[in-house]
Structure formats: structure tokens, C-alpha cells
Structure 1
Amino acid sequence: MRARGGWLQTRPIALCGALVLAVLLVGCTNTPPPPLVSSPSTVASSTPTEPARQLTVGVSSVAGGYNPHNLADQSTVTTALAQLLLPSVFRSAADGSPELDRTVMRWAEVTNADPFTVTYQVRGDASWSDSAPIAAEDFVYLWQQMRNSPGVVEPTGYQLITDISSTDGGKRVEVTFAEPYPGWRTLFQSLLPAHLLKDAPGGWSAALAESFPAYGGPFAIKSLDAARGEIILERNERYWEQPAMVDQLVLRRADQSGIVSALGSGNDQLALVGTDSEGKGELAALGDGIELFDVPQPTVASVLLRPIGEVFTDERVRSAIASLLDRNALIEAGADGGPSAKLRADSLVRAPSSPGYRATMPGDVPAASQDNDRARRLLTEAGYQWDGESWLDDEGDPLRLTIAAPEGVAPYTSVAEELRDQLSTAGIDVTLRSPDPRALYGDQLNTPSVPLEEQTETTAPGPNIVVGPQGRGGDPASVLAQTFGCRAIARSDDSDAAPDAPPANAAAFCDPELQPSISAALTGRLPLAEVLARVEPRLWRQSVVIPLFQLADNLAVRPDVSEVDPGPPLDGPFAGATTWRRTSG
């Protein structure tokens, strides 16, 4: 009876405990689980991030698009987001040389000489933020788009690829090339999520136009508000490697004075901003231990005199126009006394801040110095006459040229306006157009050639002159091929381009006599230095590509932030953002 009585006495207590437990279980069941995937729509905890766990970076712009492989999208913020959000096979070491990114790869090496084959082993735990693996389909997608899409940066290495196969669930990727390619380590940077983009509306032209559908790097996007001028990045909760030291990075747009003020007050902890002479001086005047660095971009502002149409296929006309240019004034208009002013570009292949750079422009080529007398002689030889105010052809019509610069993109609009004024003063009838960047590089510079007798004002293949960016961040032999090479590069489907195929480069240039040397440098049959010594003087005299200056930003860092530096050459500071620390609130 005691046992029974004891049970009876404890039963009410047990029942109460059971009821309390049931209530707690019901409450837990009604609470929704936390989100599993970090995505553009992810909502963070309601608890605000502590100042010490957040870094705010002042930038000049946060506007899209954000595809690092498109010429039209090249910008400081695009480079930054690619480094923070996208996986790469190789990244730049401190000296600028390619270094295997072991947060993504196990190994990558040449596994066959004939045919030339490179095998990549992707880490088994490397995945996109929606849990899809980073795998072979991402390699295939980037290859296909870079091979076939217009207006991309450094496509020539991808055009040498004939096949990509895979094993090990897509984690072992075998890439076969038509010819040896010494620059293979520069391929497959900033891989994109193929499973989300390959069938997306708008295709490649719309890829990353406004945001990112998934992430494969240490950060994810919490919010992207281009109109407001702010991008908030947070740690990617699905990142498989060492997490970033800060919880959030905020990229905040402001003008020069606004950024200087925010740095001075501590609202911004650092800034990466394009400046003119005034803004650079204001940053230097902040004092209080703020460190300043110049950060060159992998981009050179250039003028392209495209050999298309009846006018510019005549080398004498291109050389005459090049002789009319005041190159110093064009550089001043674009650099405006900022950090780019010290990076005058006098090479057709390497950027001024690149390892191995040296000036190669001969002193007697048309672009080297303004020479009105030479311009008059060349135009007269080409059949034009000076009537005292303008240049006329043999039918009495004015010499008309069209200049294009991407709309709203500094510094190209400023350079284009100065160029228009120079040519107009010299008696050339000039029209300046500012198309949307994607329309310019995706369509207008890639129109198939039209026979001269069929050309009209509306069918002429794009503008005569283009002021815009040229990529200079990769393998120099690939830069040479992408800038001046012909389209007939070995491919898996056909070895020769169709007669009406778009031009192989934005300048619409192809010299069949130089192409064998360019191909020999690309495939390693001849040393690049030997090829450049042979072809670069001739390319300068063609007056097709006139480089001006390398773009650069100012990096300003407050003393309450550590581990921030300019980064590897042409990569910038965001390459090391996972180690950034804020030492005080």
C-alpha cells in the first residue's frame, strides 16, 4: 500500500509535469524553422549587428550589372562582389602570379600533352548557397558563354577548349584544348551558378544584371538597393571554409565630399573610391592616422579607331585622325588629377601597374604626338580636300565620324567629349553617342561586316570610334589575342569563322599576316617577348588601339580597422576581406 499510496501521491505532480512539457512542445512546433539558405531575400535576425562586427565601405557607385566577365559591367564594385561572392579556381598571389584557391579546389594540373588536357579536382564540400554543388556544369556554362558571347573579357583561352567532361559526380573536371595553352591558370575565375542561369530569362546578357541568384564565396547579399546606393553583405552561412572575421560588409555610395565626411566622422571605416585631384587632396587632409593607397584596376581606358566602313578601312585616314589627337589632353580629361593620372598607358598589352610593364609606343607613330601637318598630308593622300573649315570627300560631302562611349560610365564620357571637341576643331563632322553599355558591347560592336556598296547610315557596322575599357588583368598573350587577334581560333564545332561572323575583338581588327605570330604566343610556340618585339611596333602604326591610362581608385583606411591593404596587383583590397577586423566600435 505504501508503494500504491506513494504512486497516488506523486501522480498529480507527474501529470502537471507532462502538461507543462506538452505546452512547451506545442510552442516549439508552432515556431517556424530558421532559413537554411542565404539568398538575396534572406532576412537577418532582428538583433542589430554590433558596430565592431560590421564594416562600412564608401564607394563611388553600386550600380549594376555585376557580371565580371562582361566588358560592359567592369567596375570597382563588380570586381569586389566577384571576389566576395563567387568561387575561382585560381586567384592572384601577393606577387600577382596565379595561385590555386584551395578553399574551392583540391588540385589542378596538366594531365596530358596531346591533346593538351587540364584536370581540375573540386572540393567535395564546395557548394552554392542553395546547396547545389560547385561542379563541372559550372565550368561548362562559363566555357560556352565565353566562347560564343560578344563583349566578354579575355575569351581567347576559352575558344581553345574543345571539350569538357567530368567524373566523380562532377567534382573531377577534364578540360581538353585544341592546342597547348600556357595561360590555362587564368581560366575559370568567378564561376557562375549554371543550374540557375543556363535557362534564366534573358540568357547571358541578363546574367547578374541586377543581383546574384546564389553565392559560392564567404559572403552573401542581404540586400542590394542600387537606387538607395547601398549593398549589405553578410557572412554566407553555407560557406564551408573559415568564416569572415566580420558579420557584415556595407558598401555605401556617396560622392567625394560625402565619403571624405563619412571617413572623418567614423561612419565609414574605409573607402575605395575614384577621385579627382580635389578629392584626392581632401582624403590626404583627413590625417588622424588614415592610410591612403592607390589601387589600380585591371582596366585601361582606350580609344579604338575601328577599321570598318569605307572611311576607316583606309589606314591613312585612321593615322590622320590619330595625328589630330592631343593624347595628353584626353588623359587629363579622364584622369582629372586622380590616381589614374600617374598610370599613363604606353603599351598595347600590359597595364602600367602589371609586372613586366614597359612603354612600347614608338616616338614616330601617329598617336605619339599631335601633328596637324601630318594629318593634313594623310587626309589629302586619302582623297579629302580642305575647304577652309572642314574636310570634304571627292563628292563634296564632309568627313563624318561617330564616337561612342558607354552611357554614364566615368571616365569614358569625359574622354569622349574632349575627343569630339578636338576633332570638331580640326574640321571633322563628329556625332557623339552614349548607348547603354550592354547595347554597345553586346550588339553595336559585334555586328557582322556589311559590304561597302551596301552600307548606309543605318547599316554601317557600329561606330567608327569607341572610347571605353579594355581588360588587362590576365595572361598577356591572351590579352594580345583578345585585342588584335582574328576570330579563326580552333574550336570544337568549326575551325573557321563564318564570313559574316562578328569581329573577334571590339576594335574589329584582323591582320592575317600578324595572326600566326599572335597564335604562336597564345599557344606557347614562341616566347611572348619575341612576338611582342615583332608585332607591337606594327600594331602601333595601324592606329587602331590607342591606350590612354589605367583606371585606379584611392583606398582610405581608418586606424580602427586592421588587415586591410591594397591587395594583389590588379585584384584590389576585397581579395583579403575575410581577414578584415574592426578594432573598436
Structure 2
Amino acid sequence: MNRSRPPRCGPQGIHRGSGHMRPARATALAVAGAAALAAGALGACGGGDSSSGGDSEVTWAISSGWDSWNPNTSTGNNSYLTQVLTPGAASLGDFDPDGEFVFNDAILSQAPELTSEAPLTVEYTLNENAQWNDGEPIRAEDFIYIWYQMSGNAEYCNQDQCAPATTDWGANVASIAEADGVVTVTYVEGYLNPEWEFAFPNLMPSHILEANGFENWQSDPAVMGASADWLGTTAPTWSAGPYTPTDAAVGDYVIYEPNENYQGSVEPGLDRLTLRVVEGTDAIVTALRNGEIDGSWPSEFSQEALDEVAGDDAIATEVYEGSIWLHIDTNTNNRFLSDQVLRQAVFTAIDNEELITRAFPDTEVSPRTNHFFSETSEFHEDFLSQTDPPQGSGDVEAANAALAAAGYTTGETLTTPDGEAVTLTFRYGEGDATRTLIGEVVQSQLAEIGIEVSLSAIPDGQLGPVLAEADFDLVIYGWSGTPAFTTAPFQYFGSDSGSNFGNYQLEGLDEAIARVTSTTSLEEAAGFANDVEAMVMPAAFTLPLFDEPQSTVYNRNLLTGVTVNGNSQSGPLWDVQNWQPA
């Protein structure tokens, strides 16, 4: 549907027509994995009938749960928490559907400005009325707090408690100061980033933390760590977005009402917004038709489920390319998978074309051949097809030949050079049909090279802990990103990254990753990212599968202003302030 939307204040940023890499909140790509158990209805707003006349209360389904309220930790960093926090988030901006970065005029009065490259220095001019929902002004300390949490520096925060999802951004900040309503972020000497404009994460309300016993967070790393823990276990009551949370249960729901102190240029149009978990696309479509929810951005694409509402004029269905891509990761701490030859053979035996055909029989989906750039990116290079043996090909003969050359005994049961039978456990999100199917097919494919694979579902809301604790041999999940890419090489493969769940290490890899953020040229940075790709793809750490098709469904008779956005980790919620009753 074509919809007119109120204009945004201020100029838009540079067009980034690349793929699906992260951060507008550019410190960490969010994990998108398991589906969730359906929650009971918290509000009924009508279903697939043909009547008109909207309700100012909307219920929107989120596809899975979350285990923490702190999105900046390795356990809390997931797509579902990002979505449920979006209506109240103190975001400095996001990417629009065209890949343009748009600053948030509720917090900033203009786009971020680069004032120096030596050292890299960026100024953020605050909206003179920028404030939290309790009327307290947004201040430099709100910027400093998130820097300390994401710094990876034990002098700023107890790292066992802060446990940042990535430190690529925070570790490179030298100072943050404010003068006359301008927050200046100065980076360490030698650090450069062509994506400086959208590198800053969402802010946190430092005054709330101080009011809850953490007054010394700036001077005591133990207090700072304790405050990060508190953020993980405390449902937010604060907001700098169009809506304020009024009730919430971790992994289940968040209820929002309008933020009376919201300073954005668009007045929120709903009286009440409920975001609640509903498991799987089939359940989401059923709930929509029954009037239990008004819409959703399902994490699992199901053409069959969408076909069920194809003839319902009340239901708007939009299918599009998005920012979630699936991959299978290895755990190099595993005694078998610590061997690169075995990892290469495992990935060679996996037939990605079969996975795609089985998962999407009626939808055209292309294999992903680069960890950092999709096929639509101007920076894309196909590194997967260059691997030897050919990963993702399903070439059992090539896999067995590589194993035999390394001293393995091939046949009905694969054994190591020491005579031990190779067995692996494959983890996948419980309730997600696509990931479950892929697990079953991979189990069958690896049996072709004599590997016994046990399947183990990840309970709803537990993907983050499973990854953080490396409780897997093989695991399938998704990364949800944005057109930004410079932080992805470190987050995926940096030896100190909190998101390097499989403990991937190669000689010279950290140095190659560091070069990605040694320039302000986007093209040069992309070349350095592809240099990293040339190192990690042959090592068979993680096998990229495909960019998962995305869909958004909602009742057009009850809700309008919904804009699908394949470039935002928040999906259609990216501009929730524009939602209105129909």
C-alpha cells in the first residue's frame, strides 16, 4: 500500500546501498533465532473481517521471547528484544526502507557531524528539549554510560557483568563531553570509520540508574557492572521514544502508552500498544484472523501460511527482501570441530541448494556466499564458491576425499585418526519450522559421510544464553542487521568479541579486522572486510546459507501507517510513531 507519511526533520544521511549488516545502533548485530511460545491474548483488536473503523489500541505480535532486558550484553542482544524496546528507545536514528540513515529528531536537532578525522571526532547536537519520559533532560552521561558498558575495559566496568555483545565501537572511544547542547565523541588516535554517522548505540537513562543505587557508576567499575546487571533484570519504565512502557513481563509482552514528553515531530497515534509473543507464522496468521492481534513481522517465512489470508481483503500482506540471514556455526571448542579439515568436510557435505528447495519450495531464494555482503551489495564478492572442498555443495565424494587424506576412516561411521567415532549435536530454535527442517535435513546429509548428528531444540527465549555459553556443536540461527557493515567483521570473528560464540581464531585475523576501521572511505573499508572474508570462509567457521525472505501482515481495516523496512532491525516498528488507527 502507498501511504503518505509526515516528513522527517533535518537532512538524511549517506545512502548505503549494501546488504544486511548492522548497526544504525551500530555496535552489534542482533541475533534472530528461535520462535516462541504463544502468550495469552492481552487485548483483542478485531480480526479478518471487512468492517472499517479503527481502534486506538493495537496488539502486535513478536515472534519469540527474550531472556534479558539489557540489549547491549551478549545474552541480551537479540532481534526480539530490539523490537519490543523500539517504541521507547533513545535511538539516535535508523535506516529507512531505501537504506538512508535518518536521524531521530526527538533527540537530535540535526544529523551527526564529522568535525575531525585526526582524531576521529563526531558532534551530536541535541534537540534543545530532548528528554526522557519523566521530564529529565537527555545529557552527556547517557552517552557515557553506554560507552562504558560497550568499552570492554575493566577500568570502566566489571566485564563479567557488562559482558558486551561487541567492543568494536566502545573500545575505540577516547572521550565524550558536552558543551552548549552539543555532545562531542572523540575516538582514539588512528581509529577511523566510514560509518561514523550511525555508529552510536541507543542511549541509557543514567539518572534512573543513579536513582536506583548506582550513583558511582562513572567511578567504580563494580557499581557500573551491577547497574548493567540491574538493566538486564529490570523491565524498563523509561522512554525517550513515542511510547512509554507501562507493564511488561520478560520474554512475554510489553504494553505501551503515549509518552507525554516525547519531543519528536510526529505525534504518536495510538492510545495503547501491546507487543506480545506469538510462536511461528502459522500461529501468527491464526491469531490475526481470530482478532487476537492486529499484525506482525514473523521471523519465519511461510508462503503456505500467507496463502491462507491471500483472499482476505482485510489483511495486508507484504513480502520483501530483509535483513535476516541464516547460517550454521561450528563450535571450535568441540574436540572434533577444532579440526579445520573436519569442519570443511561437514560444510561440504551440507547441500545448501537442497536446504533452500526444501524450506522454500515456492519462493525464489539465492544462496548467501559472503558473511558481510548480500548479492545486492555493490561490495559483494562470492567467496563460498572458491572454497576447496566446495562448502555448501553437498559433494560427499569431495568431503570423504579430504577426510581420508587427513587420516580419517570414512564409511558408514566416520572415525578420527585416533579411531574415535565422530558425533555432533545440532541446535535449532524450538517452534521455528524452517530451522527445524534444516536441522533434520543436515542430520540426513551428514549421515552420508558417517557422522551421527543428534538434534536438540533451543527453548523459547534461550538462544542468547545457549550462544553465550557455547552450548552447541553446530547451531543454526540468524543475524538481523542493517546496511552498515564495518562492525560485523569484529563482531563475528574478533577474538575478543562477545559474539564470537564459536571461539574462532586465525593468525593475523585480528589485524585484518582492525584494518576495516582504519579508513573513512567506504569502498576501502569494504575491501578490507572482503580481505577478512577471504581468511574466514576457507576456515569453515560458519556456513552462510541464505537471506531469509521477510513478510509483514496486518489488518488494514484497523491499522494504517505501517511501513515495511528490510533495512532496520526493528522491522515495521522502526517508525511506530506513524502508526494510526484506520
Report the TM-score range of the alignment, normalised by the length of the smaller protein. Answer: 0.7 to 0.9
What is the alpha-carbon distance in structure 1 between the residues aligned to residue 226 and residue 433 of structure 2? 26
Q: Which of 564, 568, 571 is equivalent to 1:570?
A: 568
Q: Which of 119, 135, 148 is equivalent to 2:123?
A: 119
Q: Which of 419, 422, 430 is equivalent to 1:396?
A: 419
Q: Which of 367, 391, 395 is equivalent to 1:367?
A: 391
Query: What is the SS of the residue equivalent to 1:548?
Result: strand
User: Which stretch has the larger CA shift, 470-479 or 541-550?
Assistant: 470-479
Residue 26 of structure 2: aligned partner? none
Query: What is the SS of the residue equivalent to 1:88?
Result: coil
Residue 141 of structure 1: aligned partner? 145
Query: What is the SS of the residue equivalent to 1:342?
Result: coil
What is the alpha-carbon distance in structure 1 between the residues aligned to residue 455 and residue 131 of structure 2? 46
Would you say 1:277 and 2:280 are equivalent positions?
A: no
Residue 522 of structure 1: aligned partner? 517
Q: Which of 276, 294, 305 is equivalent to 2:319?
A: 294
1:265-414 correspondence runs (5 A) = 268-273=293-298, 274-286=300-312, 288=313, 290-294=315-319, 298-308=323-333, 311-331=336-356, 335=359, 342=365, 344-351=367-374, 359-362=382-385, 365=388, 366-386=390-410, 388-405=411-428, 412=435, 414=437
Residue 478 of structure 2: aligned partner? 469
Aligned length: 497
What is the alpha-carbon distance in structure 2 between the residues aligned to residue 543 and residue 97 of structure 1? 33
1:58–1:253 contact (8 Å) kept in structure 2? yes
What is the alpha-carbon distance in structure 2 between the residues aligned to residue 295 and residue 70 of structure 1? 30
Residue 448 of structure 1: aligned partner? none
Query: What is the SS of the residue equivalent to 2:391?
Result: helix
1:487-502 correspondence runs (5 A) = 487=496
Would you say 1:60 and 2:63 are equivalent positions?
A: yes
1:385–1:394 contact (8 Å) kept in structure 2? yes
1:353–1:569 contact (8 Å) kept in structure 2? no
Larger Rg: 1
Q: State the structure with bigger RCO (CA 8 A, min sep 6), 1 or 2.
A: 2
Partner amino acid for 2:305? G
Query: What is the SS of the residue equivalent to 1:156?
Result: coil
Q: Deviations over 1:148-194 (max 9, x none)?
A: 268755542222223333445x8634332331222222322322223
| Displacement after TM superposition at 1:556 (Å) | 2.0
What is the alpha-carbon distance in structure 2 between the residues aligned to residue 133 and residue 76 of structure 1? 28
1:423–1:430 contact (8 Å) kept in structure 2? yes
Structure 1 pair 261–441 and aligned structure 2 pair: CA distance change class (3 A): closer
Would you say 1:478 and 2:476 are equivalent positions?
A: no
Gapped runs of 5+ residues in structure 1?
A: 1-49, 446-461, 488-501
Would you say 1:175 and 2:178 are equivalent positions?
A: no
1:66–1:81 contact (8 Å) kept in structure 2? no
Residue 247 of structure 2: aligned partner? 223
Q: Which of 536, 541, 545 is equivalent to 1:544?
A: 541
Q: Deviations over 1:436-486 (max 9, x none)?
A: 3333333x24xxxxxxxxxxxxxxxx6443323335325222212322344
1:82–1:190 contact (8 Å) kept in structure 2? no
What is the alpha-carbon distance in structure 2 between the residues aligned to residue 267 and residue 467 of structure 1? 30
Query: What is the SS of the residue equivalent to 1:105?
Result: coil
Partner amino acid for 1:562? T
Residue 449 of structure 2: aligned partner? 426
Structure 1 pair 151–464 and aligned structure 2 pair: CA distance change class (3 A): farther
What is the alpha-carbon distance in structure 2 between the residues aligned to residue 194 and residue 411 of structure 1? 41
Structure 1 pair 515–222 and aligned structure 2 pair: CA distance change class (3 A): closer
Would you say 1:579 and 2:574 are equivalent positions?
A: no
What is the alpha-carbon distance in structure 2 between the residues aligned to residue 192 and residue 412 of structure 1? 34
Q: Deviations over 1:321-374 (max 9, x none)?
A: 1112122344466x55697x7364222102467676565532554313011112
Structure 1 pair 556–187 and aligned structure 2 pair: CA distance change class (3 A): same
Partner amino acid for 2:578? T
Would you say 1:82 and 2:88 are equivalent positions?
A: no
What is the alpha-carbon distance in structure 1 between the residues aligned to residue 319 and residue 73 of structure 2? 24
What is the alpha-carbon distance in structure 2 between the residues aligned to residue 296 and residue 205 of structure 1? 36
Structure 1 pair 252–511 and aligned structure 2 pair: CA distance change class (3 A): closer
What is the alpha-carbon distance in structure 2 between the residues aligned to residue 353 and residue 58 of structure 1? 29
TM-score normalised according to structure 2 size: 0.74
User: Which stretch has the larger CA shift, 273-282 or 152-161?
Assistant: 152-161
Give the structure with the higher percent helix: 1
Structure 1 pair 570–337 and aligned structure 2 pair: CA distance change class (3 A): farther
What is the alpha-carbon distance in structure 1 between the residues aligned to residue 302 and residue 74 of structure 2? 23
What is the alpha-carbon distance in structure 1 between the residues aligned to residue 361 and residue 145 of structure 2? 41
TM-score normalised according to structure 1 size: 0.74
Query: What is the SS of the residue equivalent to 1:426?
Result: coil
Residue 39 of structure 1: aligned partner? none
Query: What is the SS of the residue equivalent to 2:169?
Result: helix
Structure 1 pair 552–200 and aligned structure 2 pair: CA distance change class (3 A): farther
Query: What is the SS of the residue equivalent to 2:195?
Result: helix
Structure 1 pair 66–417 and aligned structure 2 pair: CA distance change class (3 A): farther
Query: What is the SS of the residue equivalent to 2:297?
Result: strand
Query: What is the SS of the residue equivalent to 1:216?
Result: coil
